[in-house]
Structure 1
Amino acid sequence: MPTYKVNVKWGKEKFSDVDCNTDELPIVLKAQLFALSGVQPERQKVMMKGAVLKDDDWGKVKLKDGATLLMMGTAEALPQEPVEKTVFMEDMSEEQLATALEIPSGLTNLGNTCYMNATIQCLRSIPELTDALKKYKGDITMGGAISPADSITAAMRDLCVAVEKSGSAIPPIIFLQVLHMAYPQFAEKSEQGGYAQQDANECWTEIVRCLQQKVKVPAIEGAAGGASSGASFIDKYMGIDSEVTLQCQEAEDEPSTKSIEKLYQLSCFIEKEVKYMHSGLRNRLEESITKHSPTLGRDAVYKKSSKISRLPGYLAIQFVRFYYKEKDNINAKILKDVKFPLSLDTYELCTPELQERLATTRDKFKEMEDRETERMQKAKEAGKAAPAKKKDEDVETEPFEFENDPGSNNSGYYELNAVLTHKGRSSSSGHYVAWVKRKEDQWFMYDDDHVTPVTSEDVLKLSGGGDWHCAYVLLYGPRILTKEDKMEAETPMES
C-alpha cells in the first residue's frame, strides 16, 4: 500500500499533509500525532466517517490523499524543565554514583584483611547489634595490658559509627591494630613480608566472643524481675541452646545423661551425600562418639542426640569447608555444591517443647499466607494485579521474640541476611567477600572497598561446586510478621 498525505483535525487545530504509510501499523500514525499534539497514543480516538482507528488494524478506514481524519483526546501538561541540570550515571564520580544508588560504604583492604572486612560487614547486618554497640561506653587500650574484649568492642563500635556517617570507603586501621594486639595469630606475616591471609570464621568467632562479654541488651521497662537488664546481647540474639542426650551403646543399663550446650553457630558438615544445607544440619542431630564409660571402666561408643531448645533471633551457620591436608600442610577446601535457602524453617531441629511454643506464631504466619493466596487468586480471576502491600517502612511489626526472652525467635522461621564467601582452594589463601541484604531483593556485595548491588539470584549462586565464591558462613535473621499481616490473619475470610 502507498503512503498518503492526510489532514487531521483536532479541536480548533488542523495538521496538514501528515504522512501515513498503511504498510505500517496505525500506532505509528498515532505516534506522529502525539509528536504534533502532545496527546498520548492511548488517549487518542482517531476516526474517519464514523470508523474508529485501532492501534494494530486499519479495519474499515480507507485512506487517500487529502483525506481528513478527526482526532479526539486531551493533551497532558508538558513536564517542566528540571531545576537542577540532569547528571547522567556515566558522568558521575564514584562518590556521586554511590550517593545516587544509596550504595553503603566499604572497608579498605589493608593487606590480606578481606577476612576481617567481610566478617565485620556481615555482623553489621544485625541492626540491633549496631544499636547496642552505640551504647557501649568502654575505651580502646593501646599498649601495655590490653583488654581484648574491651578494645575489640570499642573499636567495633567506632568503626560502625564511622561507616554509617561516611559516603566513601573506610580504612579500618584502628580495628586491625586492636585485633593484632589482642590476637597475635592474625598479625602473622607471609613469606613476601605482608600480612598472611587468615580464616574468616576464626576471626568471626573471636569477635563474637569479645562482643559476648561486653555488649549488653538494653533493659526492658517492666520486664519480669528485670531479667533482660544487663544480659549479654550475643547470648540473647545469637545464642543457641542445644539439648544433648548421651546414651551408651555398649551398656544398656547405663542411664542416659542430658545437658545443655551453648552454641553461637550451627555447623553444616559437607559429607558425600549432603546436597542441601538442611540435610547437613539434620545429619548432626544424631551421631556416634567415643567417650569414657563409668559403667564399663573404658572408652565406649555413645549415641549423641541433639535438639535445639532455644532459637536466637539471628542464626549463624558455618559450612565446614576446610580440612587439614597433611601431605601439603594446608587447610584444603571442599568445593562441593551445597544448596542453601533464602527462607529457612528450623522447626524439625527443635525439641518437642520448643515446637509447641513456636506453634502460636507459626499459625499466624500460616493464616497470613492463606489469606495472601486467596487475595492473589481473586485478583487473578478478576484479571487484575494483586494490590501492592505497604512498604516496610510504612508498617508496624510484631515482636519476633518470646515475651521475657529478648533476642529469641518465636516462630522458627528465618530469612537470609548475609553470606560470607571464600574464593580459592585454601583458608590461608584466596579471597573473602560479604554479601548483605538491604531489603526485599536488594543485596550488596562488599568486596572490601568495592561495593556493588546484586540480587538474591546472584546470592543463590554462591552454593559452591567450583572456583567461584563459595558460601562459608551464613547469617539468618528472623522472619517478621507485620501488624497488617496479623490483622488480615485475624479477620474472618469473606465467604
Structure 2
Amino acid sequence: MPNITVKWGKEKLSVDVDINESPLVFKSQLFALTSVPPDRQKIVVKGKTLSDSSWNGITLAPGTMIMMMGSAEAVLEAPKAETNENSSTIQTPDGSEIRLVRGIKNLGNTCYMNSVIQSFLNIKEVGSALESYSAKSRSSISDEITLALKHLNGELRSSSLTTAVAPLNMLQNLHRAMPQFSERSNSGSFEQQDANECYVELQRLCLKGLKDSGINIEKFFKGKFIISQKCLEDDSEPEQTTSEDFFQLSCFLSAQVKYLQSGIKEKLTEEITKNSTTLSRDAKWSKKALIERLPAYLSIQMVRFFYKESSKTSAKILKDVKFPMSLDMYDMCSPSLQAKLRPQREAIKLEEDAKVEQMRRIKVDEKSKVVENEDYDELPFSFPEDEGSNNSGFYELQAVITHKGRASNGGHYVAWIKVENKWVVCDDEEVQVVTPEQVLNLSGGGDWHTAYVLVYGPRIVRKYHDMSDSENTPIAEPNAMSID
C-alpha cells in the first residue's frame, strides 16, 4: 500500500492508497480529507486522468505526487444543536449538556453503515468490550472488523476531536466481509444497501471477533425460543418441542398490525405444512414459539421491504406502526420464564408506586421543600446465574435506524440514539438534539423518516434508600428482590 502525495491547490496531502480497491474508494478517501465529492474530483497522474472504475495505465509508487482539482462542498451546520469546538459536550434546548456525539462522513451512499455504527456502538457493553479488545491475530475478517470498530469507537468518543469521522478503514473491511456491499451503479458510485442486513452482519462479526480474543458478550444479545409443534390432523402424532437461538426479532406489518407488539406476536403462532409420521403424508401443524431466554439487548426489524414482482424492484410498506419507549415482552415468554421474571417486575412496581407517592407529596406540601430522592442503588438487570439476560421483561428504547424513501436500494438512513437520557439524531456528519416526541413520530405513515430497526436495552430498576423524613415509604425491600 504505497504512500503518495496529493497536491490540491496549495495543500499537499499524504495518503495511503490501496490499489486493490477501486479508484472510487481512493476518491472517497480524498473526499473525507478535503470535502471535495468524488464526482467533482479530477485526478491527474503523470498526464493521465484517473477514472472511477479502473487503475489501468496508472502506476503508483511510494512518494508519487499526483494532482487533484475540484471544489469542496459547503459544510452545513445543524440548526438545532449548539456545539462548542473547544468542548466535548452538546448544549440541549433546555440548557443542559450531554457528551459530544460526533458525526460520521458519508463516503457515497454509506449512510446505511453510518446509522448502524452509531446505533451499535451506543450500546454500553459493546463500547466497553471494544476498549478492552486486543487482537490476538488478524487472520480472519471478524478480527479486522472488530479492530476497525475499536478504532472508530475511539475516534467517535474522543473529547479532543470535534470534526466528523471518516470511516475509510471500516468501509474497506465491510466490503471485504460483505462483497455485495461494494456493488456500484452504472455511474460508478456505491449502491445504497440494506441497513438491517448490515446491522445483523456487523453484530455477528464483532461478537465473534471479541469472543475469539477472550471477551464474550454474545450472551447480552442472544435469546432463545422454545418451539412446540402439534399435528392438527391426527391427535396421536406426538407433539414436537425444540429450542432455537435468536439475535433479532421481526415485526411483520400485515394489514391488522398497528403496534409493534402485535406485529411480533403475529408470527410466533402460525400454521405450517410438514410430514406426519402417523399419517405418512404432509399435514397441517400448528407452530408456537415462546421466549425461553430474553437477552439484555433486543434488536427488532420492522419488515417494511418486499419484492414487487410487477416492477422487479424492492418496495416499501409505509404504514404507521406505533412502537413504545418502554417495551414489555412478558406476554411472549414461556410460563417458566414468566415465573422467573415476577420478582424483578414487583420491584419495578414498587419503584413506580414510590415515585407516584413522592410526586403527590411534593404537590400537596410545596412549602416543606420536599426534593426528589436521588439516593438509590441500581439493581442488576440480569439473573445472577445468567449474565447478559433480562430479568424483568421490560426494555427501554435506545436507538432507532430510520429509512426515508421508497426502496431499500435507495433513499437515506439515519440513526436516532439515546445519550445520557437525551435523544440525538445522527444524520451522517450532522448531529443534533431531538425530543422523545420526535422519535415516536418515526412510526411511519408517509415519506418522512420511518423506523426500520429498533434497539432496546434493559430497564434499570432503582432501589431507593429511605429519606430522613419518616413519612417516606421504603422502596423495594430486599425480600422483593430475591430471585427464585
- Give the structure-1-normalised TM-score: 0.73
Q: Does 1:176 align with 2:160?
A: no
1:309 corresponds in structure 2 to 292
CA distance, structure 1, for counterparts of residue 212 and residue 458 of structure 2: 17
1:238-249 aligned at under 5 Å gives the runs 238-249=221-232
Give the deviation of 1:395 after TM superposition.
5.2
- Greater Rg over alpha carbons, structure: 1
Q: Does 1:490 align with 2:477?
A: yes
Structure 2 counterpart of 1:346, from 329, 352, 355: 329
The alignment partner of 2:451 has SS state of strand
CA distance, structure 2, for counterparts of residue 231 and residue 112 of structure 1: 33
Give the deviation of 1:380 after TM superposition.
2.4
Q: Does 1:365 align with 2:355?
A: no
In the alignment, residue 389 of structure 2 is paired with which amino acid? S
CA distance, structure 1, for counterparts of residue 296 and residue 282 of structure 2: 38
- Compared CA separation, residues 139 and 163, structure 1 to 2 (3 A): farther
- Compared CA separation, residues 162 and 360, structure 1 to 2 (3 A): same
The alignment partner of 2:386 has SS state of coil
- Compared CA separation, residues 485 and 409, structure 1 to 2 (3 A): farther
CA distance, structure 1, for counterparts of residue 188 and residue 307 of structure 2: 24
2:444 corresponds in structure 1 to 464
1:127-138 aligned at under 5 Å gives the runs 127-138=124-135
- Compared CA separation, residues 336 and 351, structure 1 to 2 (3 A): same
CA RMSD of aligned residues (A): 2.4
1:275 corresponds in structure 2 to 258
1:388 corresponds in structure 2 to 372
- Compared CA separation, residues 140 and 168, structure 1 to 2 (3 A): farther
Asked whether the 8 Å contact 2:149–2:170 carries over to 1, the reply is yes
1:293 corresponds in structure 2 to 276
Is the deviation greater in 303-312 or in 132-141? 132-141
In the alignment, residue 85 of structure 2 is paired with which amino acid? E
CA distance, structure 1, for counterparts of residue 90 and residue 290 of structure 2: 47
Structure 2 counterpart of 1:104, from 96, 101, 105: 101
CA distance, structure 1, for counterparts of residue 187 and residue 87 of structure 2: 36
CA distance, structure 1, for counterparts of residue 293 and residue 465 of structure 2: 25
- Compared CA separation, residues 100 and 247, structure 1 to 2 (3 A): closer
In the alignment, residue 452 of structure 1 is paired with which amino acid? Q
1:118 corresponds in structure 2 to 115
Is the deviation greater in 208-217 or in 306-315? 208-217
1:228-247 aligned at under 5 Å gives the runs 230=214, 232-234=216-218, 236-247=219-230
Give the deviation of 1:369 after TM superposition.
1.2
1:203-248 residue CA offsets vs partner (Å, 9 max, x unmatched):
0111111123222499xxxxxxxxxxx57312x1111101111111
The alignment partner of 2:174 has SS state of helix
In the alignment, residue 364 of structure 1 is paired with which amino acid? A
CA distance, structure 1, for counterparts of residue 465 and residue 113 of structure 2: 39
- Compared CA separation, residues 242 and 106, structure 1 to 2 (3 A): same
2:245 corresponds in structure 1 to 262
Asked whether the 8 Å contact 1:321–1:333 carries over to 2, the reply is yes
CA distance, structure 2, for counterparts of residue 250 and residue 127 of structure 1: 49
1:375-423 residue CA offsets vs partner (Å, 9 max, x unmatched):
2223323246862343xxx854111100021111111111100000000
1:21-79 residue CA offsets vs partner (Å, 9 max, x unmatched):
xxxxxxxxxxxxxxxxxxxxxxxxxxxxxxxxxxxxxxxxxxxxxxxxxxxxxxxxxxx
Asked whether the 8 Å contact 2:129–2:215 carries over to 1, the reply is no
Structure 2 counterpart of 1:419, from 400, 403, 407: 400
In the alignment, residue 233 of structure 1 is paired with which amino acid? I
Question: Identity of aligned pairs, percent?
Answer: 46
CA distance, structure 1, for counterparts of residue 280 and residue 392 of structure 2: 44
The alignment partner of 2:299 has SS state of strand
Asked whether the 8 Å contact 2:112–2:413 carries over to 1, the reply is yes
The alignment partner of 1:95 has SS state of coil
Give the deviation of 1:100 after TM superposition.
5.1
- Give the structure-2-normalised TM-score: 0.75
Q: Does 1:150 align with 2:143?
A: yes
Asked whether the 8 Å contact 2:351–2:462 carries over to 1, the reply is no
Give the deviation of 1:140 after TM superposition.
8.1
The alignment partner of 2:347 has SS state of helix
CA distance, structure 2, for counterparts of residue 329 and residue 98 of structure 1: 48
Aligned residues: 383
In the alignment, residue 125 of structure 1 is paired with which amino acid? N
In the alignment, residue 182 of structure 1 is paired with which amino acid? A
Give the deviation of 1:97 after TM superposition.
7.8
CA distance, structure 2, for counterparts of residue 433 and residue 297 of structure 1: 52
CA distance, structure 2, for counterparts of residue 201 and residue 189 of structure 1: 19
Structure 1 counterpart of 2:192, from 174, 192, 197: 197
- Compared CA separation, residues 304 and 231, structure 1 to 2 (3 A): farther
The alignment partner of 2:426 has SS state of strand
Asked whether the 8 Å contact 1:424–1:431 carries over to 2, the reply is yes
CA distance, structure 2, for counterparts of residue 367 and residue 488 of structure 1: 6
CA distance, structure 2, for counterparts of residue 320 and residue 175 of structure 1: 27
Give the deviation of 1:251 after TM superposition.
2.3
CA distance, structure 2, for counterparts of residue 232 and residue 331 of structure 1: 37
The alignment partner of 1:462 has SS state of coil
1:156-167 aligned at under 5 Å gives the runs 156-165=149-158, 166-167=161-162
Asked whether the 8 Å contact 2:377–2:462 carries over to 1, the reply is yes
Give the deviation of 1:485 after TM superposition.
6.6
Give the deviation of 1:323 after TM superposition.
0.5
The alignment partner of 1:191 has SS state of coil
Asked whether the 8 Å contact 1:139–1:154 carries over to 2, the reply is no
- Compared CA separation, residues 247 and 480, structure 1 to 2 (3 A): same
1:445 corresponds in structure 2 to 425
- Compared CA separation, residues 161 and 458, structure 1 to 2 (3 A): same
- Compared CA separation, residues 470 and 271, structure 1 to 2 (3 A): same
In the alignment, residue 95 of structure 1 is paired with which amino acid? E
- Compared CA separation, residues 108 and 382, structure 1 to 2 (3 A): same
Asked whether the 8 Å contact 1:330–1:428 carries over to 2, the reply is no
The alignment partner of 2:320 has SS state of coil
Q: Does 1:404 align with 2:397?
A: no
